[in-house]
């Protein structure tokens, strides 16, 4: 296959240029398994040779999907930015996208599981593009995926490598699921506690705001706002009610009133309508854990973060 690829290029030395070009970009670590699918463990003596085989194979498999003239053109550029600009100008957008997807995928520096989903999205993009332009062995893409996983997902990487029949789509789903579980456990340990002030903001799920300039977590809208101190309710807004609400233990507590809370956050005056007064509640404010139970995906780092509602993500900044 490699010989055929060399033949497609007008001069053998052009392939050598491709070899060095791709070697620097792929940074192959464990891609040797692509050339040795029946091997369960990495050989020690032939490790270096196996990697060389993989890089040769990768050259053929990836760039064989490009037009041969584009491939020849690409070997003449040392600066990738100039290369991409020229391709964009002279050839179709699809060819540029293939190169760009590969380059961006391998530039991801995965330090923790929070970056795993980002890598999966890039790999899915690459898989779609290459599938449209020509078949690419799934084991090659799986090898790329397992090679860039962070330390927290090494056991999963080994599991995926050991499953010869796994598809790239299933491998990606496994990585996403594991990364989400790790992130969820981290959030529970760090953030599963009530907010100190009743400063959540109701959100209309059908029309969520794109951005809110406050560091307080948003609530679900269906849960409303609940406080146990009627003194923070604005005068003249309290409405009497005979309704009840269940607390965290499942006990019903009477709502003593519904009103509006006005508070100042970072110099901004914010009003919260339909706040329920339930004096018997001990922990009556929403936590990030409760948000997650409502189907939200809170991602909080210090005073900054975001919450995902459907396909929308709302940024939270201090």
Residue 129 has a pLDDT of 67
In the chain, alpha helices (H): 2-8, 12-26, 32-35, 47-63, 68-74, 80-90, 93-106, 116-133, 138-147, 154-162, 168-191, 288-293
Report yes or no on 202 lying in a domain. no
pLDDT-derived band of residue 312, with 50, 70 and 90 as boundaries?
A: low
Residue 117 has a pLDDT of 65
Share of the chain above pLDDT 70, in %: 19
Following CA atoms 184, 189, 190, 193 in sequence, which dihedral angle do they give, to the nearest 10 degrees? 100
**pLDDT tens profile 115-156:** 666 667 767 777 776 677 665 667 777 777 777 676 667 788
Contacts of 148 (CB under 8 A, 6+ apart): 105, 106, 108, 110, 119
Domain that holds residue 256: 211-316
Q: Are 40 and 183 part of one and the same domain?
A: yes
Radius of gyration of the chain from its Cα atoms, rounded to whole angstroms = 27
How far are the Cα atoms of 84, 87, 261 from residue 90, in angstroms, in the given order?
A: 10, 5, 61
Report yes or no on 111 lying in a domain. yes
Q: Are 173 and 251 part of one and the same domain?
A: no
Residue 149 has a pLDDT of 72
What would you measure as the largest C-alpha separation in the chain, in angstroms?
87
User: Of the given ranges (123-127, 174-178, 209-213, 253-257), which has the lowest mean pLDDT?
Assistant: 209-213
Q: Are 38 and 139 part of one and the same domain?
A: yes
Q: Are 58 and 181 part of one and the same domain?
A: yes
Residue 101 has a pLDDT of 46
Q: Are 181 and 222 part of one and the same domain?
A: no
Tokens found for residue 240: 């009497």
Cα angle 11, 13, 16 (rounded to 5 degrees) comes to 130
- Given a cut of 70, whether residue 163 has pLDDT beyond it is yes
Residue 161 has a pLDDT of 80
What is the spatial distance between Cα 268 and Cα 265, in angstroms, rounded to a whole number? Answer: 5
Residue 313, strand partner residues: 308
- Given a cut of 70, whether residue 79 has pLDDT beyond it is no
State the SS3 of 204-249.
CCCCCCCEECCCCCCCCCCCCEEECCHHHECCCCCECCCCEEECCC
pTM for this structure? 0.31
Q: How many domains does the chain have?
A: 2
Highest mean pLDDT among 21-30, 170-179, 244-253: 170-179
Q: Are 215 and 184 part of one and the same domain?
A: no
If one compares 173 and 209, the residue with the highest pLDDT of the two is: 173
Residue 276, strand partner residues: 226, 258
Report yes or no on 199 lying in a domain. no
If one compares 103 and 123, the residue with the highest pLDDT of the two is: 123
Report yes or no on 136 lying in a domain. yes
Q: Are 29 and 83 part of one and the same domain?
A: yes
Report yes or no on 99 lying in a domain. yes
Residue 36 has a pLDDT of 43
Residue 183 has a pLDDT of 61
Residue 184 has a pLDDT of 58
pLDDT-derived band of residue 176, with 50, 70 and 90 as boundaries?
A: confident
Q: Are 99 and 248 part of one and the same domain?
A: no
Q: Are 282 and 170 part of one and the same domain?
A: no
- Coil, helix or strand at residue 254: strand
Report yes or no on 259 lying in a domain. yes
195 alpha-carbon distance from chain centroid: 26
- Given a cut of 50, whether residue 225 has pLDDT beyond it is yes
Residue 250 has a pLDDT of 65
Residue 153 has a pLDDT of 74
Q: Are 226 and 305 part of one and the same domain?
A: yes
Report yes or no on 55 lying in a domain. yes
Q: Are 29 and 165 part of one and the same domain?
A: yes
Distance between start and end Cα atoms, the chain: 56
Which one, of 21, 24, 105, lies nearest residue 63 by Cα?
21
Residue 311 has a pLDDT of 56
What is the spatial distance between Cα 180 and Cα 195, in angstroms, rounded to a whole number? Answer: 23
Contact between 227 and 246 under an 8 Å Cβ cutoff? The reply is no
Residue 255, strand partner residues: none
- Given a cut of 70, whether residue 177 has pLDDT beyond it is yes
Residue 108 has a pLDDT of 44
Q: Average pLDDT of 250-268? A: 64
Count of positions (residues) in the chain? 318
Q: Average pLDDT of 273-281? A: 68
Report yes or no on 68 lying in a domain. yes
Q: Average pLDDT of 221-235? A: 60
Contact between 299 and 313 under an 8 Å Cβ cutoff? The reply is no
Q: Average pLDDT of 262-283? A: 58
pLDDT-derived band of residue 296, with 50, 70 and 90 as boundaries?
A: very low
Q: Are 25 and 153 part of one and the same domain?
A: yes
């Amino acid at each position: 296959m490699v010989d055929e690829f060399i033949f497609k290029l007008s001069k053998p030395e052009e392939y050598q240029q491709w070899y060095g070009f791709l070697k620097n970009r792929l940074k192959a670590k464990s891609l040797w398994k692509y050339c040795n699918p029946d091997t369960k463990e990495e050989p020690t003596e032939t490790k270096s040779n196996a990697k060389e085989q993989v890089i040769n194979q990768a050259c053929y498999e990836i760039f064989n999907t490009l037009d041969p003239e584009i491939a020849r053109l690409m070997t003449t550029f040392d600066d990738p930015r100039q290369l991409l600009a020229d391709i964009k100008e002279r050839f179709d957008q699809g060819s540029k996208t293939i190169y760009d997807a590969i380059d961006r995928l391998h530039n991801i520096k995965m330090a923790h599981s929070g970056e795993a989903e980002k890598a999966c999205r890039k790999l899915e993009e690459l898989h779609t593009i290459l599938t449209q332009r020509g078949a690419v062995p799934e084991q090659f893409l799986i090898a790329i995926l397992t090679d860039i996983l962070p330390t927290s997902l090494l056991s999963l990487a080994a599991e995926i490598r050991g499953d010869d029949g796994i598809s790239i789509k299933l491998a990606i789903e496994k990585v996403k699921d594991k990364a989400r579980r790790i992130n969820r456990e981290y959030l529970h340990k760090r953030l599963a506690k009530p907010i100190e002030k009743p400063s959540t903001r109701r959100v209309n799920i059908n029309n969520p705001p794109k951005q809110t300039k406050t560091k307080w977590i948003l609530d679900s809208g269906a849960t409303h706002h609940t406080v146990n101190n009627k003194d923070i309710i604005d005068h003249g807004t309290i409405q009497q009610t005979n309704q009840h609400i269940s607390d965290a233990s499942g006990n019903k507590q009477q709502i003593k009133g519904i009103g509006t809370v006005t508070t100042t956050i970072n110099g901004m005056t914010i009003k919260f309508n339909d706040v329920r007064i339930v004096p018997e509640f001990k922990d009556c404010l929403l936590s990030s854990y409760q948000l997650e139970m409502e189907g939200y995906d809170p991602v909080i780092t210090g005073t900054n973060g975001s919450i995902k509602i459907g396909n929308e993500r709302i940024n939270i900044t201090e």
